[in-house]
Amino acid sequence: MSEKLPKSKAYNITCFYSLLILLAKLFLVVLLTFFIHRLIFLLVYIGIANLRDDILLIAKAFLVGIRFDSVVALYGLLLPFVMALISIFVMPQDLSQCNRMKKWIHYYGIVMFILFNLISVVDFYFYKFFQFHINVLFFGIVYDDTKAVLKSVWTDYPVVKILLFLGFVVMIYWIILKKLIQKNYNFSLIFNWKHGIVIIGTIVLYAIGLRGSLGTFPLETEDSVICDNSLINTLTLNGVFALKTAMSEKAKQNIDTDVQKRLIKNGFKDARDPIGYYLGKTVVENDHLEDLLISKTQEDSFLTSHPPNVIFIQMESFGSFYLDLHTATLNVLGSLESSLGDCIMYRNFLSGTSGTIGSLEGLLIGCPMNPLSQSTYMNCPLNSSVAMPFKDAGYFTNFITSSELGWRNLDKFVKYQHFDAVEGAEKLLEVVEHSSRCEWGVFDEYLFERAFQILKSPGEKAKFIYAMTTTNHTPFELPDHYKPFPVSIPQNIVNSLRTSQDIAIKILLISNMQMIVWENLLIG
């Protein structure tokens, strides 16, 4: 039987529920705010004419956008929520303290909505100029002539109208919040175990909402990519989440373009020293340094008239170490084993970095400074791109990954590196029959199937494909239909591992790779 607590304790429960309902309504107001901004963004940058053709994708973009909006709203309301929880234990003698807290939330909410709207407006005009949501380029105002940048903002953008708009918005929110705060709620003064469940459940749901996901990883920018239409993908993000991501990327960015400073840091006097060290000879002052780093093979007239299709596959986490483990009972290679005899295999190949993005950029553009994709250079075309020689030779260049294109800004970075087509998990789900998702995007077998689709597609141009897989990665998922090859791990290997379970799963994944020999096709 429920026990009636002292009146002061009852006021705590009443105050908590009152604040909780108030925060829930503010949460809905935040969602409505971002919905309006997203709708304006849609009408201005996509247009009414395109609504009919892409209505389902646009609806999906709005639904996914609610997830991003919810995360922003919950973080914005986190402080009032914590204070609401604290109110349970404060034990006021009357509801005056609760009313004071509501008044404080009123002012807090006004400031929050001003910031959310201001950032959304800035993001709107940032997109108009850069064709991106707010990213690390936004912080260029600090490194450029700040006075000149601010002057151009004043002359090029309707600053006065924006300020008037924000003033009008403040009035609207002031009225809305005042009406919400004036509403009082009466609850039973009997405290029982149900109240405890509600409080704990609310905390759990709030924590899940802050993550924005029930999966292994919290909601991230890469989840904003829902299709191969980059314009529709922009609808999912809101300006506040984009700014949060930009700040994180700015903190990680370490791209120093001061060549002399980097040379000194690495123990060299000038550029001739590292080049001479690399080439194994003395570089004299009159040598043209760039020419020393470039070597050309003789032109092959047959290849010129019969250009082969070329696929370069970057297998994430597939090191040569695993090749040494292969035996009849420890089948690491799978059906790849029968094809290796016809291949030229180089064993002395090192990963550019211990991370995938660093290795990708090292192979794709030959740059040791990374990640460029999350820096102010994300939209800079580079002549060192491996796709450029193929494009110049008349090839149709493709980049495919089984990952989501939003990962590490690949959707914004790779398209500038001389690729005619850039595809990720969303495109593969659309065009590859029976394809299915995994934690990082789609399973790699669908990437290979997509590569074969491209090779078989009609067209006069030869094809170059840069493919990046992701299946060899935690949490090591396998397709339901996969039938593994025999794997029996010797005891000496088991003893050398912290756990034999992870290596067994990984070996199963590696053996999933199947190669098909194509005429007039080079695979790297």
Minimal CA–CA distance to 71: which of 126, 39, 116?
Answer: 116
- pLDDT over 50 at 435, yes or no: yes
The answer as to whether 1 is a domain residue is no
Domain coverage including residue 286: 253-295
Specify the residue for token string 């002292």: 6
The whole-number pLDDT of residue 422 equals 96
Q: Answer yes or no: is pLDDT of 406 > 80.
A: yes
Q: What is the pLDDT of residue 92?
A: 57
Shared domain for 376 and 473, answered yes or no, is yes
The model's pLDDT over 330-381, given as tens digits with 9 standing for 90+, comes to: 887 777 777 777 788 777 777 777 678 888 999 999 887 878 888 888 889 9
Q: What is the pLDDT of residue 68?
A: 96
Residue 267 and residue 329 share a domain? no
Find out whether 228 and 427 touch, Cβ atoms under 8 Å: yes
Give the model's pLDDT for residue 62. 95
* pLDDT value at residue 355: 75
On whether residue 148 sits in a domain, the answer given is yes
| Domain-located, residue 174 | yes
Q: What's the pLDDT at 138?
A: 80
Does the pLDDT of residue 524 top 70, yes or no?
A: no
Q: What is the dihedral of CA 271, 379, 474, 490, to 10 degrees?
A: -40
How far apart are the C-alpha atoms of 88 and 362, rounded to whole Å? 55
Digit-coded pLDDT (tens) for 282-339: 888 777 887 888 888 888 888 888 899 999 999 887 777 777 788 878 887 777 777 7
pLDDT tens digits, 185-202:
655 455 667 778 888 999
Q: Given a cut of 50, is residue 407 above it in pLDDT?
A: yes
Whether 325 contacts 331, CB under 8 Å: no
Same domain, 277 and 324: no
Rounded Cα gap, residues 423 and 19, in angstroms:
46
In this prediction, residue 156 carries a pLDDT of 76
Please indicate, yes or no, whether residues 235 and 195 belong to a single structural domain of this protein: yes
- Residues 207/209/212/214 CA torsion (nearest 10 deg): 70
236-257 per-position pLDDT tens digit:
999 999 999 988 887 776 677 7
Last residue of a domain, one of 261, 295, 329: 295
Neighbouring residues of 125: CB distance < 8 A, sequence distance ≥ 6? 157
Q: What is the CATH number of the domain that holds 512?
A: 3.40.720.10
Can you give the pLDDT at residue 516?
41
Residue 2 lies inside a defined structural domain of this protein: no
In the structure, what pLDDT confidence band is assigned to residue 498 with cuts at 50, 70 and 90? very low
What does the pLDDT look like over 208-232, one tens digit per residue? 999 998 888 899 988 898 888 888 9
Is the pLDDT at 109 greater than 80, yes or no? yes
pLDDT, residue 185, reads: 61
Same-domain status, 370 and 442: yes
Q: What is the pLDDT of residue 204?
A: 95
pLDDT for 512 beyond 50: no
The alpha carbon torsion through 419, 425, 428, 429 (nearest 10 deg) reads: -150
Q: What is the mean pLDDT of residues 44-60?
A: 82
Structure token pair of residue 307: 């250009």
End-to-end CA distance of the chain: 73
In this structure, the answer to whether residues 263 and 180 fall within a common structural domain is no
Same domain for 131 and 31: yes
Residues 209 and 322 in one domain: no
Q: 307 and 289, same structural domain?
A: no
The helix/strand/coil state of 377 is coil
Domain membership flag for residue 153: yes
Position 376 scores a pLDDT of 80
d(CA 449, CA 434) in angstroms, rounded, equals 11
Query: How many domains does the chain divide into?
Result: 3
Q: Is the pLDDT of residue 11 over 70?
A: no
**Residue 340 located in a structural domain:** yes
Q: What is the mean pLDDT of the chain?
A: 82
Strand 441-442 to 437-438 pairing: antiparallel
Residues 22-51 have a mean pLDDT of 90
Quick one: average pLDDT of 72-93?
85
Look at the pTM and tell me if it is higher than 0.85.
no
Domain annotation covers residue 64? yes
Backbone CA torsion sign across 173, 178, 183, 189 = positive
Task: Give yes or no: residues 417 and 369 share one domain.
Answer: yes
Q: In whole angstroms, what is the distance from residue 73 CA to residue 212 CA?
A: 11
Q: Using one digit for the tens of pLDDT, what is the confidence trace for 128-154?
A: 887 889 987 787 665 544 665 677 678
Asked whether residue 164 falls in the same domain as residue 233, the answer is yes
Last residue of a domain, one of 222, 245, 268: 245
Residue 18 and residue 162 in one domain: yes
pLDDT digits (tens, 9 = 90+) for 440-491: 889 999 999 999 999 999 888 999 999 999 877 766 778 888 777 777 777 7
Mean pLDDT of 399-408: 90
Q: Final residue of a domain: which of 208, 223, 245?
A: 245
Domain-embedded: residue 515: yes
CA dist 415 and 438 (Å) reads 24
Whether the link from the prior residue into 381 is cis, omega within 30° of 0, is no
